[in-house]
Amino acid sequence: MRVVPAILRFLHRLLFLSVGLALTAGAAYAHAPKPGARAARRTAAPPLQALIPFPSSITLRGPYAEARVLIQGRLPGGGARDVSGEAALAVADPRVAVIDADGIVRPRGDGNTVLIARLQRRTARVPIAVRGVAKAGPPRFLTDVLPVLTKAGCNQGACHGAAQGKGGFKLSLLGYDPEADYEAITRFGGARRITRAQPENSLILRKPTLSISHRGGKRFAVGSPEYRLLRDWIAKGVPGPAADEPRVVRLEVFPKVRTLAPGQTQRFIVKACYSNGWQRDVTGETLFSASEESVAPVTPGGEAKAVGPGEGAVIIRYQGLVTTARVISPFGPPRRVAIRKSRPPAATLSEKIDRLVQEKLDALGLEPSGRSADADFLRRAYLDVIGLLPTPEETRAFLASRDPQKREKLIDALLRRTEYVDFWTLKWGDILRDSRQLLSEKGMVAFNAWIRQSVAENKPWDRFARELLLAQGSAYTEGAANYYRAATTPQELAETTSQVFLGVRIQCAKCHNHPYEKWKQSQYYQMAAFFARVRAKPGERPGERIVFVSDTGEVKHPKTQKEVLPCALDAAPLPKEYPGDRRLALAEWLTAPQNPFFARCIVNRLWKHFMGRGLVEPVDDLRVTNPPSNEALLDCLAQDFIRHGYDLKYLMRAIMRSQTYQRSSEPTPGNARDTRYYAHFPFKRLGAEQLLDALTAATGVPEKFEGYPQGMRAEQLPDTGVPSYFLDLFGRPARNIPCECERSDEPNLGQVLHLMNSAGINARLSDKSGRVAALIESKLPDRRVVEELYLASLARFPTPEESRKAVHILAAAKDRQRGAEDLLWALLNSKEFLFNH
């Protein structure tokens, strides 16, 4: 083709896009309210019914204790708001305790007094008891000193908690190794960081106060509570960690949940509960962060402010423990729906899904979109279950049916199709790393066959996991044994098993305690110890590996160099004399109904597949500091999945039958900003294999993969090692890591140019055996040609306006086939084709 005609034809094709053909997907986002469209009305603060303090009483033990006070104002409607920053606070007897401008109460002498709060002619009183000031002992290293260093940031990754430390001074990350920290502070570097005779000259005080140069900047002031505590610790002999020192066993936060209007603030109080039964306010030593800065950022002192609609978590970390509080900022007025006593309980899981989703939408002031059109549901269901588009004949039949149960029957029919096995074998192969590069050609084929058979028989997920974990034998004949070829070391197997089946990423605990979760370094190596006796030896055939279990083999902790006993996360360790295969104990723990991770992990994965976003994101990162967007729903799905025998098809069917899944993707003005709570169905980019198979189906031209027969679909390929520029360009994973994140759905310019102007796409459109040529050869009228192209690509009939425009352009084309090719080209480049919606 000459250059000038090619350019003219390209511009002609762009005309189809400009006139609005097939670009309806996503257009409804234009209804989203624009920033500043409505000016917020300022109203006077409502009168308060009463002041409610928290805590109701305060006990301060020792000279270094402190406590915060929250003052909640009870509103006429029964709600409450934080008025701590507005109330006037005073302590009756300043000889016993004092309160500063931030509302922090500190001891001055043993005795009893009262804190008085006043606002709007309302008064509240909080008794204060101070004990242990007159005969105080030295500050304790674990309880007092380490929390000060952590809050000041001294032992964080950007400072002395880095792998190599800073300035020749290294501390354990967030204080996970107190003994090593004590040695580093008091003895390393010639013990120059501590000056016992003149505590004020100690580097540990002079640098963070900027009395001398410090690259880390000023961390606290001379004379501050932090300064006094460290000075007293040095002056009283720098006592080290004590075996009988009480340990923190639990954190409590108040309030646990708070709904805030835009601009409102809420302070949080954190209490540490110790092994000896006593509690103390540790808010000042707590590290605060926000899971959603766009909803409610939080200050270092623990005050959250609602800045945008949605729900966010305030993440609270103290002494290796983690908890959260939730802040809700509704999109609109929360909907309070009265539940009548006569309302029947949700009978099916689909009904439970809808009820729990609706409760979340009501709390956030979101209205749901309506029910999707039949054509949208048909295309959505096909792509989600079998990864393929419906044929024009299937679309015609479904849209013509008047059966009120046709959606339910379609779901059941799709779950029985052989293409379902193809599609889900591809999905599980990605996560389990079924790759010829890792397993060899024969190993890959055997693993693929095992996965495929498991999908075909709808193997319960707990049995699927058990067979993988307990697999042994030849990797060429025992497909599941390849699980131990994709990952080979005890450490890698612990990481893979945790991420794939528990949704827990323990990799960060390999070198130190997890900085954002509760997992300790010791727990990482205890998990690895389950796999210490798994071995592989050469088989009789070239490249063959035989997986077996040895009678010996242990894992050592890298710090202590002591052997560790196998112990599952948050479980009791195995006895040293445990007989037989240790993996059996792991498999039993992993798949037990009481396991808090196993079922939640897989239901979260399936929820994301069908709903476009997991209840937890990323889907394999379940942790306290990454809470679900709807925790009640995640728990309900997991419990019901367990009760129904870990049946994957049962769960898929329940999700797809729900109104939530069958909701329209068209946002309303009231829910256009929702991206997390499923008020409308989300737009999902087609995966690489889905898109290639859709192009093949729409154009009627089969693909030819190297080494495989023509017509084999992309979703049927056994692994991602089959050469394909298209699949690589559109984000198929290399299967190097056990993470869904390896598959990319991010658009790029190369993808756009390939779809719009690649020789391969043009060849498909003009192929003499393709769909366009067959339609022209059939002598169908222009209206029917347009109709067939829409059915083949978008799984719907064109609207009257779309049909009118397309027929007009076809009639005006000098070459009827070229005109039809250009129409299909425009449809293939539309958002409606490229997205599942």
Q: Which residues contact 350 (CB under 8 A, 6 or more apart)?
A: 654, 655, 657, 658, 659
pLDDT at 5 (0 to 100): 45
pLDDT tens-digit series, residues 789-810: 999 999 999 999 999 999 998 9
Number of H helices, E strands in the chain: 29, 26
Q: Are 690 and 674 in contact (CB under 8 A)?
A: no
pLDDT at 335 (0 to 100): 75
Q: Is 566 left (phi over 0), alpha (psi -120 to 50) or beta?
A: beta
Whole-angstrom distance, CA of residue 206 vs CA of residue 187: 17
pLDDT at 21 (0 to 100): 44
State the span(s) of the chain assigned CATH 2.60.40.1080.
Answer: 50-131, 248-329
pLDDT at 193 (0 to 100): 86
Q: Which residues contact 795 (CB under 8 A, 6 or more apart)?
A: 375, 378, 379, 382, 389, 390, 395
pLDDT tens-digit series, residues 667-677: 999 999 999 99
Q: Which residues of the chain have pLDDT under 50?
A: 1-8, 11, 15, 18-43, 338-341
| 409 phi/psi in degrees, rounded to 5 | -65, -35
pLDDT at 164 (0 to 100): 79
DSSP string of 494-558, one letter each residue: HHHHIIIII----GGGGTSS-TTSS--HHHHHHHHGGGTTEEEEE-SSTT-EEEEE-S---EE-T
Closest by alpha carbon to 623, among 740, 716, 722, 506? 506
Rounded to two decimals, what is the model's pTM?
0.88
Closest by alpha carbon to 289, among 515, 617, 616? 515
The CA-atom distances, in angstroms, between 724 and each of 71, 693, 718 are 64, 13, 13
> For residue 560, what are its two tokens?
């202590």
Q: Which fold has domain 50-131?
A: Immunoglobulin-like (2.60.40)
Whole-angstrom distance, CA of residue 664 vs CA of residue 679: 9
pLDDT at 539 (0 to 100): 92
Residue with tokens 């949940």: 257
CATH code of 248-329, in short, is 2.60.40.1080
Q: What angle do CA 216, 221, 224 make, to 5 degrees?
A: 135
Burial class of residue 341 in the structure, from the number of CB atoms within 10 Å of its CB (0-12 exposed, 13-18 middle, 19+ buried): exposed
pLDDT at 171 (0 to 100): 85
pLDDT at 158 (0 to 100): 81
